[in-house]
Amino acid sequence: MPSSSLNQQDYERRISDMEDAREKALQELTEYYESKIKEKNRELKEASDDHEQQQRKMEEIQRQTEEDTDHEILTLKNTYERDLKKQIDGNMKLRGELGIKTKKVIQLLLHF
């Protein structure tokens, strides 16, 4: 019977060793996957931060483009308004000169 008792003790020791190995393997796998989850969360946050930064840059570029466009439009408007005013003033001057010339011609014709 001592042999049977030895086999029983050996069997129980093996079971205990296997349970310990299983627990150790489970702990190692848990730690491994927890570190993977932390790494993926860090990568996700980094990607999210990069996306937000790119979004802010895009919005700033759009704002600057709109501001530049508005400024350019205003500059062109002012330029064309000045040119139009010069043309209107020039036309008014020519009309005035035409009126004076017309009066002179009428006066000359009436004296003959």
Kindly report, residue by residue over 57-71, the tens digit of the pLDDT.
999 999 999 999 999
Tracing tokens 């996957």 back to the chain, one arrives at 33
Domain region containing 63: 1-87
- Reading the block at residue 47, the tokens are 């990607």
* pLDDT at residue number 102: 94
Domain annotation covers residue 107: no
Domain annotation covers residue 79: yes
Domain annotation covers residue 104: no
* pLDDT at residue number 8: 87
* pLDDT at residue number 80: 97
Domain annotation covers residue 102: no
Domain annotation covers residue 111: no
Tracing tokens 């350019």 back to the chain, one arrives at 72
* pLDDT at residue number 5: 78
Domain annotation covers residue 103: no
* pLDDT at residue number 99: 93
* pLDDT at residue number 109: 87
Q: CA quadruple 61, 66, 69, 75: dihedral positive or negative?
A: negative
Domain annotation covers residue 17: yes
Domain annotation covers residue 30: yes
Count of domains for the chain: 1
Residue ranges in the chain whose pLDDT is less than 70: 1-3
